[in-house]
Amino acid sequence: MEQLLQTSFSVEDLSCLRTPLDTPIPDPAKEELKKKKNEEEKVFELLTNTCTKIEGFQTQISKYYNERDDAVAKASKQTHVGDYRQLVHELDEQQYCELRIMVLEIRNTYTVFVKRPKGDCKALIY
């Protein structure tokens, strides 16, 4: 410590002062691999979310057919009651709207893949 307080230093005095070099040096190859991995994870996440939505929609379609079958059976047994026929029409309209929304969501997902094939990091193609 006394050597540091002196105004003049020699080479021997400076050689005893050492500090570890903690400055990270970026490796371009590792950075590129990390970037590709992040892009693949984003694309995989988007596909997984879309598949989950589609699977949920498929179960919803089966429920719709069961409900519609019950309503049609009741409407055919009791032809004088118009509520059952109205129920069938309402179920059809509701299912049509939900089907249209699902198709639009799938289209939007694939539009993202066409415009950004390698993830959000790249610029738009079109």
pLDDT at 118: 60
User: Which residue ranges of the chain lie beneath pLDDT 70?
Assistant: 1-23, 116-126
Which pair of tokens denotes residue 95?
């299912």
Residues near 74 by beta carbon (within 8 Å), at least 6 away in sequence? 81, 84
pLDDT at 101: 92
- C-alpha span between 68 and 66 (Å, rounded): 5
119: left (phi over 0), alpha (psi -120 to 50) or beta: left
pLDDT at 84: 80
Domains and CATH numbers, the chain: 52-117 (1.20.120.180)
| 91 in Cβ contact with 67 (< 8 Å) | yes
Q: How far apart are the first and last CA of the chain?
A: 66
